[in-house]
Each structure stands twice: as structure tokens, then as C-alpha cells.
Structure 1
Amino acid sequence: MMIGICSLKVIMYEAQSLKAKRQILKSLIERIKSRFNVSIAEIGNQDKWQIGEIGFCCVTNSRKHADEMIHHVINFIEKDGRLDITECEVEIL
């Protein structure tokens, strides 16, 4: 069993309040949940209105598949024009 873990720090230039930030992140998280088979949540910087931290993971039977899944989700997030990824940490266990 292989577990792929990714932690992303993102910045949202359009967000002018915590409410706007949460709307953007909630929308993105729900779209990822419905499209990819991963567990995902906001994991940090919850009190800052332009910076967010998202964590997600997948469980699979091969390292290659875990790596592919993580990169597909990262590419999906990068294509979303509402935020930019500032840091990315990937770990496969």
C-alpha cells in the first residue's frame, strides 16, 4: 500500500476577507473531491485572508499511481485562476 501526501500553500489575490477566502477554497476543495479520488481539506493559515494551506492524500497500490494522482490534482489547482501555489511539499510513503 502506498500513500501519497501533498501540502500546498496558496495565495488568493482576489480575496478581500476571510469569507471570500473560504468561498474560494471551499469551491476548489469540492470540485477536487468530485473529480479525483483524494481526501482533501484546508489545514492551515485559517485566520489569514489571502493565504491558505491545503492538504490532500491518496491511497493506492503503486508509487507511480500515487505520484500521478498528486500531480493531476496539482495541475488542476494551478489551472484555477483564483489562486497561485507558493509552496508544495509531496511525500510518498
Structure 2
Amino acid sequence: MYVGTLSFDILLGDVRSLKEKRSVVRPIVAELQRKYAVSAAEVGDQDVYRRTRIGLAVVSGDTEHLRDVLDRCERLVAARPEVELLSVRRRFHGEHDD
């Protein structure tokens, strides 16, 4: 079993309230979950209007499949015109990790 995680540090566009922020972040999280069957959530900067951190995790028995899903998720977020992807942190955990 292998687990892959991504953490996105995101700058939001023209957002002036937490309500507007939610209207941008929720559809991104929902699309990641729907398209790629990943576990995803807003995991940081919840009280800052123009920044957010989205985290996701994928479990797979195959490392190639895991890398493919993580690559697709990263491309999806990076392609969203309403956000600027500042950084991405990627981690892999395998059967032999303690």
C-alpha cells in the first residue's frame, strides 16, 4: 500500500470576504474529490481572505497510479484561473515507512 499527499499553498484572486473565499475553495475541493476519488479539504489559512491551503491524500497499491493521480490533481489546481498556485508539497509513504 502506498499513500501520496499534496499540500497546495494558494493565493486567491479578487476575494474580499470569507464567504467569497468559500465560494472559490469549495468547488476546487469538490472537483478534486469527484474527478479523482481523493480525500481533500481546506487545511490551513481558514481565517485569511486571500490565502488558503488545500490538502489531499490518495491511497493506491501501485506507485505509478499514485503519481498519475497526484500529477492530475496538481494540474487541475494550477489551471484554475481564479487562483495562483504559490507552492506544492508532495509526499509519498510506502509499506516500509515507519
- Name the TM-score class by shorter chain: over 0.9
TM score, norm. by length of structure 2: 0.91
| Structure 1 segments unaligned to the other structure (5+ residues) | none
Structure 1 segments, 4+ long, off by >6 Å, are: none
Instruction: Tell me what 1:75 maps to.
Output: 75
Q: Percent identity?
A: 20
For 2:52 and 2:24, locate their aligned partners in 1 and report how far apart those are by CA, in whole Å: 10
Deviation, 1:59, is 0.2
1:12 aligns with 2:15: no
Deviation, 1:31, is 1.5
| Structure 2 segments unaligned to the other structure (5+ residues) | 94-98
1:27 aligns with 2:27: yes
Moved more, 49-58 or 29-38: 29-38
Contact 1:67–1:92 (CA under 8 A) maintained in structure 2: no
**What RMSD, in angstroms, separates the aligned Cα atoms of the two structures?**
0.8
1:8-46 deviation line (CA, Å, top 9, x unaligned)? 100012211111111100011111211111000000000
Aligned length: 93
1:45-92 deviation line (CA, Å, top 9, x unaligned)? 001000000000100011121111111001011111110110110001
- One-letter amino acid of the structure 2 residue matched with residue 91 of structure 1: R
